[in-house]
Amino acid sequence: MSRSDPPSLSRIARSLRRHVRLTAARLAAAGPHRRVVNDHMVLAVLAMTVGLLTGGGIILFREGIVLLQALLYAGDAQHLATAAAALPWWALVVLPTVGGLVVGLWHQATLPQGRPENVSHVMEAAILRGGRMSLRRGLAAIVGSMLSLGVGASVGREGPAVHLGATLGAWVARLPRFGRGHARTLLGCGAAAAVAASFNAPIAGALFAHEVVIAHYATSAFAPVVISSVAATVVSRLWFGTAPAFALPPDLAMASVLEFPAVGLLGVVCGLVAAAFLAALQGTDAVARRSGLPVWMRPAAAGLAVGLIATAFPEVLGVGYEVTNRALSGDLLFDAAVAIALAKVVATVICLGFGFGGGVFSPSMVIGAVTGCAFGVLATAAVPGGWSAGPGAYAVVGMGAVAAAVLGAPISTSLIIFELTGNYELTVAVMVAVVLATVVSHGLTGHRSQFHWQLARRGLDVEGDRQRQMLRDIRVRDLVTLDAPTVPADAGLEAVAAAFRRAGADRLFVVDAERRLLGMIVLADAASALLDRGGDSDRAALDLAQTDPPVLALSETLDEAMETLEELREACIPVVHDRESMTLVGSVQDRDLMRAYARTLDRLRAEDRGER
Cα separation, 451 vs 445, whole angstroms: 13
For strands 517-522 and 507-511, give the pairing.
antiparallel
The torsion of the CA quartet 364, 365, 370, 373, rounded to 10 degrees, works out to: 130
pLDDT at 462: 61
Which residues, in sequence order, are bridge partners of residue 511?
488, 517
Cα separation, 462 vs 481, whole angstroms: 33
Cα separation, 518 vs 514, whole angstroms: 11
**441-454 confidence digits (pLDDT tens):** 999 988 878 887 87
**290-328 confidence digits (pLDDT tens):** 988 999 999 999 999 999 999 999 999 999 889 999 998
Structure letter (DSSP) for residue 8:
P
Measured CA angle at 218 (ends 216, 222), to 5 deg: 100
Contacts of 176 (CB under 8 A, 6+ apart): 20, 21, 23, 24, 42, 46
Kindly tell me the burial class for residue 421, based on how many C-beta atoms sit within 10 Å of its own C-beta (0-12, 13-18, 19 or more). buried
The predicted model scores a pTM of: 0.76
| Domains of the chain, earliest start first | 10-240 (1.10.3080.10), 257-458 (1.10.3080.10), 472-605 (3.10.580.10)
Phi (first) and psi of residue 304, to 5 degrees: -65, -45
Alpha-carbon torsion 505, 510, 516, 517, what sign?
A: negative
**65-80 confidence digits (pLDDT tens):** 999 999 999 877 788 9
Please say whether the beta carbons of 100 and 356 come within 8 A. Answer: yes
Kindly tell me the burial class for residue 5, based on how many C-beta atoms sit within 10 Å of its own C-beta (0-12, 13-18, 19 or more). exposed
For strands 584-589 and 572-576, give the pairing.
antiparallel
Other CB atoms within a 10 A radius of the CB of residue 524 amount to 10
**480-512 confidence digits (pLDDT tens):** 888 788 888 888 888 888 888 887 777 888 888
Measured CA angle at 571 (ends 565, 573), to 5 deg: 65
pLDDT at 5: 46
pLDDT at 21: 57
Residues of the chain with pLDDT under 70: 1-39, 177-179, 215-219, 255, 384-386, 460-470, 533-538, 604-612
